[in-house]
A and B are shown apart, each in its own frame.
Chain A
Amino acid sequence: MAGNVWVYVDHFKGAALPASYEAIAAAKTVGSKVTALIFGQGVDALAQGAFHYGADEVLLGDDASLADYRAEAYASLLSKLAKEQQPDAVLFPTSTRGREIAAMAAIDLDTGVLPDITEIKDEGGTLAAIHPIYAGKLLSKVVVNAKPALITLRGRAFGKPVADASRSGTVTKVAAAVAEGDLQTKVVDYATVEGRVSLADAGVIVSGGRGVANNPALTPPAEITDEKEKEIWRAQQGFIMIGELAQALNGAVGASRAAVDAGYIPYANQVGQTGKVVSPDLYIALGISGAIQHLAGMRTSKVIVAVNKDPDAPIFKLARFGVVGDLYEIVPALTKALKERLSK
């Protein structure tokens, strides 16, 4: 066993990322004692969740200077604690925050980071991990030759953890490592996107490609005269339709790079090698032909469904179920059919 394993519990405004609990559950499989790190202000309620998913102990950094996530403040505290208590490994969910804290702590602690890994194994006290590279086209087996090993775990790669509400543990409060006056950044504001499901956490993703613009039956409003604008308008109506299917399945909307580059939908929705690599239980590809860069970003999805006009589209090779047809006919009918069945 790897001994003392720490888990950084990533959260946004007090709501833990599901991948934080996945990391705690993964830590249980390789460590003899699991300590959860919770940093923020007024976030002591998160300790409960950490215990329920398997933490034995919580180190709680509760301070005004930690109210907003700031890389320098969070990394400094983690590094200070790790220097004092010498854990064997620290696990993080692979989020922007987790990756950043791990990166900075690696410099502070003179150790290494295994980023965005999908498997972890104890090999005689050393943690060996699988890191997908080239967007998962290849897999690299990696180890850290120093302690603590800092490892960020890809969301949804470690299965759904099971909570046990009877578990509890000890909470130890820790003080912030850097005084507010010595921090070099300040968070000014947030603009959250309402109702958005994060692609990384989504169990269902419904994605649209270039084909979403191909509905000649739609007539753009008269004030849109530019041909390119008309195409974008058509595509946006298509993505509204895709959004309805996604919503019916409590899923997120994705897109191919072609759709993003054409201006149909923001980059935040892009799936693929230069977007997000995802692994949902169900991936529905609509009007996506399946360029190698897109396939690399979704090939580990459990069940893939593809709808495309072109019977030779490469996406069909990965699809469990395929429909050769017009997505504008199939999608509304499928939304209706699934809604009927799921409401029963």
Chain B
Amino acid sequence: MKIAVFVKQVPDSAAKLTVDNGVVNWGDAPLVINPWDEYAVEAALQLAEKHNGEVAAFSLGGENAKEALKHALAMGANSATLISDPALAAADATAAARVFAAAVQKLGGVDLVVFGRQAIDSDTGLAPAMTARVLGWPVLSMVAAIPALEAGTIKVERAIEEGRQVVEGKLPAVLSIVKDFAEPRYPSFMGIRKASKAEIPLWSLGDLGISAPESKVSWSEITAPAQREVTNEMITGANADEIAAKLADLIIAEGVL
């Protein structure tokens, strides 16, 4: 079983963000593997362990995206490849998906492609379905559990808004994994050592045999949202009942119930 997992390097979720001349600045916050992608790597590793498979990690980005790949390697991925090309600097979701699909095809013989549900920076959540469509494979998104995987078929439990949906799909397929799947493992000491020494090859568009896919979405400006103007009122009272009565009256007066 051959599994490709895609990871992204993002500013830590605790980062305070500002915009300087239209460019996002995360100050001295560290760059980390997208938290949702850790679940994807965990799922890929568990499937590989159960089905005698191997896990190839990929990331699209600049040189610093290597850190996300090293995290995947330290968790246990067998290989890691950085996809990088100056022509992809402003790639939108469709362009990225076409690049991901080309990487899957170059790797060859892939049974499953695994993504996290979305990246916490760009917040699009489009990559899994788009990549599946470019490949002509089914997408099974928001996977919370994989009860069966055999003979060219995968059965998954999807966490949808209304509860759980059990779906079967033919392989090869594209999955996106949600947090319910399993707690991602911590990289082992040996894993971290191995990852720090690993060679991470770089694939350019030329290596993938494609020209830069055209981006269809453009960003004209990025701004910080207006500061929230809140008139803060602290409610006090002699006891809980008195506080609750005051608070209940105030909430009702806001007209939101």
Seen from chain A, the residues whose Cβ lies within 8 Å of a Cβ on chain B are 12, 17, 70-72, 75, 95-97, 99-100, 102-104, 106-108, 110-116, 128, 131-146, 184-193, 196, 198, 200, 203-204, 249, 260, 266-268, 270, 273-274, 281-282, 291-293, 299, 302-305, 316-326, 329-330, 332-334, 336-338, 340-342
Contact = CB atoms under 8 A, between A and B. Distances in A.
A71 B16 CA distance: 36
B36 interface: yes
A52 B254 CA distance: 30
Contact of B248 (A185, A326, A341): A341
B196 interface: no
Given A115-B124, A282-B256, A336-B244, A191 B164 contact: yes
A186 B154 CA distance: 11
Contact of A103 (B126, B235, B244, B250): B126
Contacts of B230: 304, 317-320
Contacts of B164: 190-193
Given A110-B216, A133-B222, A190 B133 contact: no
16 contacts: A17-B161, A71-B139, A71-B141, A106-B130, A112-B92, A116-B125, A134-B121, A138-B222, A138-B223, A140-B221, A203-B256, A282-B254, A321-B235, A330-B243, A334-B247, A341-B249
B138 interface: yes
Interface string B145-185: 00000000001001111111111111001000011100000
A334 B126 contact: no
Interface string B183-202: 00000000000000000000
B94 A112 contact: yes
B166 A145 contact: no
Interface in B73-101: 92-94, 97
Contact of B93 (A112, A193, A274): A112
A188 B166 contact: yes
Given A145-B217, A303-B251, A187 B123 contact: no
Contacts of B162: 12, 190, 192-193, 198
Contact of B120 (A274, A319, A322): A274
Given A96-B161, A196-B163, A318-B228, A185 B170 contact: yes
Contact of A134 (B17, B92, B169): B17
B232 interface: yes
A138 B254 CA distance: 28
Contacts of A203: 256
Interface residues of B, number: 84
Contacts, number: 274
Given A96-B161, A274-B35, A320-B231, 4 more contacts: A72-B138, A113-B93, A141-B219, A184-B137
A268 B166 CA distance: 17
Of all A-B residue pairs in the complex, the 5 with the closest CB atoms, nearest first, are A112-B216, A333-B244, A103-B129, A337-B248, A192-B163
A281 B234 CA distance: 20
A249 B128 CA distance: 37
Contacts of B247: 305, 321, 323, 330, 334, 337
B63 interface: no
Contacts of A329: 240
B123 A132 contact: yes
B126 A99 contact: yes
A337 B256 contact: no
B52 interface: no
A319 B216 CA distance: 40
B13 interface: yes
A260 B247 CA distance: 28
A274 B10 CA distance: 13
A249 B16 CA distance: 34
A321 B233 contact: yes
Contacts of B21: none
Given A112-B92, A134-B17, A322-B235, A96 B138 contact: no
B244 A334 contact: yes
B155 A188 contact: yes
A203 B250 CA distance: 17
A145 B216 contact: yes
Contacts of B211: none
